[in-house]
Structure 1
Amino acid sequence: MHKALAALLSAALVASHAASLTAADASGAWVQLTPAGTFAGRDGRGPYDAGDKSDMEQIVARTRQLAGSTDLVVDYDHQSVFAAVPGVGGTAKAAGWIKELQVRAAGIFGRVEWTEAAAAAIKAGEYRYLSPVFLHTKAGRVIAIRMAGLTNTPNLDLVAVAASALLPNNNPTGENMDKILSALGLAKGTNEDGVVAAINAYLTSSTAIAKAAGLTETAKQEDILAAVNSIVSDRTKFAQAAGLAATAKSDEIVTAVQSAIAGKVDVTKFVPIAAVTELQTRLNTLESTVGNDKAEEAVNSAMKAGKLIPALKDWGLNLFKADPTKFQEFVGSAPVLTSPQLLTPKKDGEAAELTEAQLAVCSAMGITAEDFKKTLKAEAKA
């Protein structure tokens, strides 16, 4: 895919806007590659549009993605283009390499590191201008910077001829274009808009893959490839560990791992949830039974000791179940009542006045004398 894109970009080269170089630039300097906004070539081609700062940042990002791990080349007289044209020739030697790209108010700039030969040629005045080459849409919108060339005739007819030989009227045709379309998975006869759409789709998918792999949008090709290979390797290991083929789907891997975990539980350390629930229910039932037995025993003992009248048995049971300590405190402070004290003679079916001991019981239990009388009366009838 990258080779196809390189071929496409080479076929769509357009030279424009020349930067004048001085002897001081020979040691390596920042040079302008495109102006900001709308501009045109001196030969009448254009207009082209690099947009505003945000647009130029996108151009730089696409350029870095397309270049991958390679630097952008600066050749002599665009021989990288001529070398691709039968009968023209050209050695396409590098004059320098663009190491960095930067967006400024005036446009996109690149930091060039020159070869010794190119630096000497610039110092000697043999070459004076830098002519950038970029990919653009049919409407003139700049997509990405491809390269640049040392030249003495910026925006040259030579470059226009080279570009026209591969891309006449900005619409590639012939065998070269068929190869490009095939590499991009497009049908023969696809126009420039279709080609540009395919390139943008590639750039978008590349960015998406970088993000999915935990990398930045501007990650280089080798970084993306390394991250994806690592993920695929890990996935393969998981599949094999689960006893599946390396090509198993993610859902199959997850299911297999879950099944393996479920089948290898150490029964000496873990028990099923249902068993724990049943055990808890039984413990609660046993605890309740034991509590009832203890309450019954405590209340009966209090009644035998004359600390609690039979009519208050249910009250005593409830108190013991709710708070055994309070029940014991009551029993400990309650006076011992004798049978005559508990059952005083009645007059005309009414309970007699309470004795001091009975009043003490009322006070200890928090009930009124009248309620206690009613209780005695009910017991007498029984």
Structure 2
Amino acid sequence: LIQKQFKDRKVDIVIDYEHQTLADIQAPAGGWIKELHKGEDAILAKVEWTARAAGYLKNKEYRYLSPVVLVRKRDKKATAIHSVALTNTPAIDGMFALVNALKTEDISERGNIMDLKELAKILGLPESATEEEIKKAAGDAARAAEKLKDMEDRQPEGKEVVANSTILSMLDLKPDAKTEDVAASIMALKAGGANLQAELNALKERMQEKDAEEEVQKALKAGKITAAQTEWAKEYAIKDLKGFKGFIDKAPIVVPQGRLDLKDAPETSGCDEVDIEILKNMGVGMDDVKNYGEED
């Protein structure tokens, strides 16, 4: 079961120091179990040691391994190895010391046993979680940690990632742009938006004034308002063009149409049509009016 779980999961088993992986602290690896093989009375493992751990073993500063084995509750069978620790106080009586060849080491199938409920709690699962759910959660956590580590490894040393590549491209900035560069670009866009809104508002006002002026001129030509009402009518039309149109449609004609325009009338020294007709009947011509009509 242990060997099958290891092959199915396809994740190297960590060898830490003093079971630090089980505690909520930084837990550097001392080595990684790359292969597992079933021996006659033990599980054999091929280990890739770190230089630091190899030094500890060479100097005999660490001598024993202590595995953390997951046990199935219903039949008490070991199903997986969670992790292995370098330690000098193994929980297993008679645990043999590691040899210094640093190639293949024996790992006892017995050891510290972690209840599945305890592991479920660590993974944030309910106590009722099944073995498959726990395995899946453990695998997801391992992959997430590996992905995070990979992202950290790709990040340039000493440089802070302030935005993803898509945002930087949209802002026309370089991949290594600083926080202040991104902030400045965003503020410039916001300012540009405010200026554009101001221009749109100004254009809207000009269009309103133009439409209002046209309607006022139509009203003047139709005789619906007098020249003295022009400014009032314009303000009304700008404020409520629809309302002004409705008012003009219902308003009576206050300036008669077709009345004589003095600019087009013959020079009569202020005489209207009636005066001219009376003068004609009296035998007084327009020349006489021009010559003598200026005096009061």
**Under TM normalisation by the shorter chain, which class is it?**
0.3 to 0.5
Instruction: Tell which has more relative contact order, 1 or 2 (C-alpha 8 A, sep 6+).
Output: 1
TM-score if structure 2 supplies the norm length?
0.37
TM-score if structure 1 supplies the norm length?
0.30
